[in-house]
Amino acid sequence: MANTGTSEMLLATFNFAVEVDSVTVAFFKEASGLTEEVEVIEHQVVNATGQQITQKIAGHRSTGEITLKKSMDGNTYLSDWFKEVTDGKFDSYRRNGSIVMYDPQNTEVARWNFINGWPKSWSASDLDAGADDIATEEIVITHEGMERA
């Protein structure tokens, strides 16, 4: 591995937020789907010695869907955003955003930007009067591309 001249630091996953259109909309307790993958295309070729070999080349790039979970509070941004989708407001529901990770001093240490994202699902936790759990909400954001900034 090449030395980039920067100091290495382990990143904790306990403090992160979601920004949509450059505005912090919420802090979350869980995030998943920060993944990228490249399809492998196998191509049969004949090498210089006449042998048939399988050459593997990079194909279509794809990214995962982002799943976010947070404690429910008075903030309705996520459910309102999902309602825009279900109401068919095509001109406004696609948005750019970021998942931003912070260190214990609340300094940004990592960022993943997504492009043209929109919520494909929203859900709330089960409600149980006999439990003392905190209610949570979950949103799944599909998007057209993501990169670590």
Which pLDDT score, from 0 to 100, does residue 14 have? 63
* 82 assigned to some structural domain: yes
- What tokens were used for 148? 């670590």
For 116, the 3-state DSSP assignment is strand
Nearest alpha carbon to residue 111 among 93, 124, 97, 98:
98
* 104 assigned to some structural domain: yes
* 116 assigned to some structural domain: yes
Domain count, the chain: 1
* 140 assigned to some structural domain: yes
Write out the residue range of the structural domain in which residue 78 sits.
16-36+63-148
Whole-model pTM? 0.78
**32: number of CA atoms within 13 Å, CB side?**
4
* 9 assigned to some structural domain: no
Angle at 98 between CA 8 and CA 14, to 5 degrees: 55
* Pairing mode, strands 108-124 and 95-102: antiparallel
* 130 assigned to some structural domain: yes
Would you write out the chain's pLDDT as a tens digit for each of its 149 residues? 455 555 566 655 568 899 998 888 888 888 899 988 999 999 999 999 999 999 999 999 988 899 999 988 888 898 999 999 999 998 889 999 999 998 888 888 899 999 999 999 999 888 888 888 888 899 999 999 999 98
* 112 assigned to some structural domain: yes
CATH of the domain at 99: 2.30.110.20
How large is the C-alpha radius of gyration of the chain? 20
* 55 assigned to some structural domain: no
